[in-house]
Structure 1
């Protein structure tokens, strides 16, 4: 669709287009008494080549063409010169034919833009003879179409998304596709990339699909870094990033952003917001895009109205906002607008696991030449399907599980069928797959025992998780080899073998669990599936704990790792619980023991939810002292459907992130010297608790009961989230102290204004004062019943009457009480409230009596 241009904007757009693609543009230029609007110059070897351009917003009919021909004719004989007419409105019949005979190029703006796109190398990479193209083709041939199943209905995913691709509804320009791990989100985006690239190549779609794997970004990124990453890996390094940004904003690209959750699990709240800001840049001007993620990765903490906090800070600083301040506020307003679309009002589709029938069809299609293998795999999957009511062991509808089983089908055919008859959990399935892969490597090269290779792969999973790198280069790979096989290589050197490390490196890098990275700049290796890495790492951490030697390095514990541990054999879990309980009191000596509580807590609660409460489960793991001091916890949920009593919990000097205490009784607990980030204290009772010297970040405190709680020396950078009605407020440290003080907490001195300003009726009083500030006479009825006062007329009337009773407002004589205005003493009182965020002491009794806590 052609954009709408004016006589001013069209030449500017054409100029930009040429400049972005390496031309120097000047103009107007005059020669022989005629003037041409633009001249684009490009070096070709040692000579310059000029393009003489006449842009017009009018349709070019025969009369206008003659006019432009006269302007361009003087440049006809210049060596290498090209002459061009650009008209978004198009050309009348016969004009283009005349232009061809006279050597003049004619384009609409879209046609000119398309000439600069030069995306054929990318199309060849996706659809041609490259390894990537063959991989996508193979996937497309066997792909089993999944379904969306959510509040919007039940539809075939690819069909629905292709319809969406051609939908111009700007309110649906972005979709978030959610699904548990292994449901095929990545495969869906890969199939869409291949099919939509074909539509683009055939001229059946105006949008070229750009698929970007967000899991490649373990650290904060910006929009240009994201695009550079894509261009470098997809044969598009010749395109300027600024031009690609224009392609996106002009609707010529559809973005497929895969794996938000795998990126977000490594980032804190502020880093995730920065990444969403980068996506905001890409999503500007109506660009279309799809973002995939596991559910619940758009947390309340990411709904922060940062604009609100900034505006409050800057507007309350008693100085006018300068240009830089306003720029920052406006930038955050734009990001908040994105969050409004992405998070609060998002269009979210849920990808469903494959049905039993779809699973059988997929396996048979993949193994059409191996009916025996198909029977073995479908038989194994059917055993799992018997437990479909329990999501922890319902695996057969996950395409990733099917892929793993297909990888080891030959080994599965050799097994006694009785081995496959037993009830299998998620842990059992993965353990079976990994064991088969280890045996395959042993059959290929018997230089390492399967247990040795398994230990190396676990250590490699540990290294990639700690370094937050999806892939490892040769130097890092060799470093892990040396760490794991130091004694083996020492023995080899004593025996006179000088290339022991090289031999191990060559063997291990070809392990069937690993694959070469798609990074073309250096040789790198990664696990074939991210969930395989997480399984190996979870198993390694549990093994270390059971051996009494917990892994000391800090490891990001993911949801998938917790899911795997939840499905471990009960006897293994009991061993882990026992060791955790035994080692917990000496956790200062055993670094890393706290992350094992994060890893095991979900399994403990899942398996014992019906038998005992949260408090009993916690006592089993850490003892009766309820001592969580000096530890780091992430993602632990201490809430349940029942009342949870964790009174006198000791969490001093601890660091807690994404930890949930909803409706938990924490009375008398000790959180002094701690940091809580993106936690949830909704409706929790912390009466009498010690939160002195606390750093609180982005933690929800709606309904917090905090009578007598000590919040002194609250860190000045603290922030909290508070729901007032339907609105989510972000409290900076000043407002947070005021809120806590109002609810009975002990805090540092607080300006009374901040104790009441968050009450949903406070602004009624504030706006009445603002109206009265001008000193004029005002209709009493209007003040009491209109504007903000409409929400609570009774309170507005009481406040006006209170102002009259204390002498701050007077009734004009002879008006029958209809007109009121401020008195001389009352004017500074209402000014302090409405302009200076100060409550005069004469007004405090009213707010104390009439505004709720």
Structure 2
């Protein structure tokens, strides 16, 4: 649909369009007494080529065309020159034909824009003969349509998303699709990219899909970096980024951002927020898109911080009056963004395939192998996860189905095995990996399965630590040399000079890996991210059981914890025993703390019914609750009931995403620690030591902190606090004031910050702001209107208090209806409403009437 223009805005839009695409655009030129609105000039070799342009918001009928023809005719014989009429309103019948006969180009604005898009190379890359196009075609041919099933209802995912693509509702311009590992989120975005590109090519849809794999970003990015990455890898490097941004803002592009969780696992909390801010920037510019993620990675706290950043871009709250109008407009924009993308965001849950879909898919893929189809469906029917004492079938998980189809020949050889025994996620992945390695063993006997498994585990470790999705030849060889150093040395002694090359050639063709090419460089990666996580989880547990925990820091994901939860009980008991034995000497066993992160979920999962959190923790780290000098991420010490961890020692530790909701931490020690994105909701830290603490975005709603030592709180500290329905971000000053008000020991605090977060404080503040002008005001309005409506009783008490201490007076002869400030009261109300200062004469009122 054509945009609406004024004469001025159309002129600006056309100028911008040419300038963005490398033209110099000059002011109107006159020749032979005729003036042309715009001249766009581009160098061609050693000469300049000019485009003479007449834009108009009116429809061009025969009369208007004659006027423009007269203006453009003097330039007809200029070498290389082009003449152009642009009208968003279009052209009357016959005008385009007349113009074409004269060599004059005619475009609506959208047609002109499309001429600059130049996306044919991308269309060929996705739909033509490229390897990428063939892979997408193969996927589309076998794709089994998944379902959304959530509070919005149950629908076929692709059908629902096709409707969403056609929907122009701005409040639904972004969708977040969440799903567990292996539910087919990536396959869904790939199918959408292929199908929606076809719709664009046929002219059915005006939106071209740009699919970006966020897992390629293991460092924070900005919006332009995101776009540069896509353009460079999809045959669109010739397009200026500024022009692409305009395509997005004008609704010509739909973004498919896949794998937010796979990016987020490598970033710290603040880096994730920087990336979310980049997404918010795109959203604020009108982008339309889909973001996929595993659950629990796109949190409310992170979203709130994104919009805090956007608000900070507005400038100081004490900006000059001349800027107030612009600031207010910008604030409204951010408010709308906050409402659309946080409060009213649309989140859909992608589900595994149904039993019927699974059977149909397997039979279709193995239509010529009924025996194989029976073996695969039989195995799938045995795969379960224990969830809250329920056996949840995993038979419809696409990643498991795909792997079993891949090893169907090997599975048929074992079809006589126990057909009744249930299998866990660990069991099925262990089976798949063993079958794939046996296939490699049958293909080449260079390495036995145990050696290959060790290499694959080291490869999983290397990619996780180096934060690389795929490895080039140099990195791949580095891992090969590390794992097989002694084997290569022996071969050299025996006279073989190509031992490393032989191992490299074998390992890079492992059936657990897939090869790809990026800018002509060969790379290798695991065929699915969950396979890397399975191998890494197993490796970490094996190292611990052997008494040699992996010392390098590794991102522990929810999927890794899920795999460990489903390990054989005997293996888990061995791991618990070793963790407990090594914990007291953890300074000598670097990396042991990440094993607590990995094992804690399994420990609580298996003991949640018969043992408390404290007992489980004692099993692993001893009676002293000593978590000092360690790093923990994603550990949940809550259980739904009150948890007693009194005296916990977490001094000099780093805790991220760790939950202490409803935990009794009285007398604990968190001195010299850093807690980032943790949860202390309703925790009791009375008498605890938090001196020299760095607190980042930790939720403290309902925190009991009487006598807790929060002195020397780091100046960069922040916290999250829910007041009523609102979630506030507290900087260090407000945080210190809040803690002081609740009885904590802190450094000196401006009393204003002890009370400002009370949900009724703004009532008093706004009354003072009204009284500041020194005029007479209706007492009834001050006490019962505006903010005072929320708590009329408090408003009346505050007004009466101001009168009683002599800051406000009643005008004579008004029957008490008009009030105003006294000479001594005016600076008092000014300090509160303008300078964030509470006069000492007001403190008694706030202390007695506000309870945070």
TM-score norm. by structure 2 comes to 0.96
Tell me if structure 2 keeps the 8 A contact 1:314–1:321: no
Bigger mean CA offset, 332-341 vs 175-184:
332-341
Distance 2:539 2:722 in 1: 42
Distance 1:49 1:521, change over 3 A: same
530 and 325 in structure 1: CA distance in 2 versus 1, 3 angstrom threshold: farther
Change (3 A) 1:589 1:503: same
Q: CA 1:170/1:307 → structure 2, altered by over 3 Å: closer, same or farther?
A: closer
Alignment partner of 1:386: what SS?
strand
Q: Residue 199 and residue 167 in structure 1: after superposition, are their counterparts in 2 closer, same or farther (change >3 A)?
A: same
- Once the two structures are TM-superposed, the CA of residue 523 in structure 1 deviates from its matched residue by 2.0
Matched-pair contact (CA < 8 Å) for 1:772–1:830: yes
Q: Quick check: 1:124 aligned with 2:145?
A: no
What is the CA deviation profile of residues 507-531 of structure 1, one whole-angstrom value per residue up to 9, with x for unaligned ones?
Answer: 1111111112352252221111111
Stretch moving more, 775-784 or 714-723? 775-784
The CA deviation at 1:305 is 4.8
Determine if contact 1:257/1:289 at 8 Å carries over to the other structure.
yes
**Compared with structure 1, are the counterparts of its residues 574 and 143 closer, same or farther at alpha carbon in structure 2 (3 Å cutoff)?**
same
> Whole-Å Cα distance in 2 between the matches of residues 629 and 146 of structure 1?
47
Q: 1:196, CA displacement in angstroms?
A: 0.8
Contact in 2 for aligned 1:393/1:425 (Cα 8 Å): no
1:301 shift after superposition? 2.3
Q: Which moved more, 1:504-513 or 1:664-673?
A: 504-513
Q: CA deviation at 1:129?
A: 1.5
For the 8 Å contact 1:277–1:335, the answer to whether it is kept is no
Native 8 Å contact 2:121 2:236 kept in 1: yes
Cα deviation per residue 1:109-163 (whole Å; 9 max; x = unaligned)? 1111111111111111111121111111111111111111111111111111101
CA contact (8 A) 1:176 1:292 kept: yes
- With over 3 angstroms needed to count, the CA separation of the structure-2 counterparts of 1:585 and 1:393, relative to structure 1, is farther
Change (3 A) 1:565 1:238: same
Closer, same or farther in 2 for the Cα pair 1:630/1:403, shift >3 Å?
same
TM-aligned CA distance change 1:577 to 1:329, over 3 Å: farther
Cα drift, residue 420 of structure 1: 4.8
Moved more, 690-699 or 783-792: 783-792
Q: Which residue in the other structure is 2:714 paired with?
A: 715
Report the secondary structure of 1:218's partner residue.
coil
Question: CA shift at 1:13, angstroms?
Answer: 1.4
Give the match's secondary structure for 1:581: helix
* RMSD after superposition: 2.3
The question of whether the paired residues in 2 share the 8 Å contact of 1:280 and 1:335 is answered with no
- 1:309 & 1:290 partners in 2: Cα distance? 22
The answer to whether the 8 Å contact 1:264/1:297 transfers is yes
- Do the aligned partners of residues 440 and 308 (structure 1) sit closer, same or farther apart at CA in structure 2, a change above 3 Å counting? closer
State the partner residue of 1:582.
Answer: 581
Shift of 1:417: 2.6
Alignment correspondent of 1:265: 265
- Which secondary structure does the structure 2 equivalent of 1:416 belong to? coil
In structure 2, the residue matched to 1:469 is 468
Cα distance change on mapping 1:556 and 1:198 into 2, 3 Å: same
More deviation, 840-849/774-783: 774-783
Residues 722-743 of structure 1 deviation map (CA, whole Å, 9 limit, x = unaligned): 0000111111111101101111
- Which runs of 5 or more residues in structure 2 are unaligned? none
Deviation at 1:328, TM superposition (A): 11
How big is each residue's C-alpha offset from its partner over 1:282-316, in whole Å with a ceiling of 9 and x where there is no partner?
22343321111112212132133566689799999
| CA offsets 1:511-561 (integer angstroms, 9 cap, x no match) | 111112352252221111111111110010000000000000000101111
Distance 1:320 1:4, change over 3 A: closer
Using the TM superposition, give the Cα deviation of residue 823 of structure 1 relative to its aligned residue in structure 2, in angstroms: 2.1
Give the unaligned 5+ runs of structure 1.
Answer: none
Secondary structure class of the residue paired with 2:278: helix
**Greater displacement, 794-803 / 698-707:** 794-803
Decide whether aligned partners of structure 1 residues 721 and 392 sit closer, same or farther in structure 2, where only a CA change above 3 A counts. farther
Aligned-residue offset at 1:675:
0.3
Alignment TM-score, normalising by the size of structure 1 = 0.96
Q: In structure 1, what is the equivalent of residue 60 of structure 2?
A: 60
Shift in Å at residue 791 of structure 1?
Answer: 1.0
Q: Work out whether residues 393 and 567 of structure 1, in 8 Å CA contact, stay in contact via their aligned partners in 2.
A: no
Cα deviation 1:802-844 (Å, max 9, x = unaligned): 1122222222222222222222222222222112211111111
User: What is the deviation of 1:34?
Assistant: 1.5
Question: Structure 1 residue 280: deviation in Å?
Answer: 2.4
Given that 2:39 and 2:50 are in contact with CA atoms closer than 8 Å, whether structure 1 keeps it comes out as yes
CA distance in 1, matches of 2:12, 2:318: 42
Residues 17 and 382 of structure 1: CA distance in aligned 2, closer, same or farther (over 3 Å): same
CA distance in 2, matches of 1:509, 1:365: 31
Q: Relative to structure 1, is the Cα distance of residues 489 and 328 closer, same or farther in structure 2, using a 3 angstrom cutoff?
A: farther
Bigger relative contact order, structure 1 or 2 (CA pairs below 8 A, ≥6 apart): 1
| Residues matched between the structures, number | 852
In 2 relative to 1, CA 222–305 (structure 1 residues): closer, same or farther, beyond 3 Å? closer
Contact residue 250 and residue 285 of structure 1 kept, 8 A: no
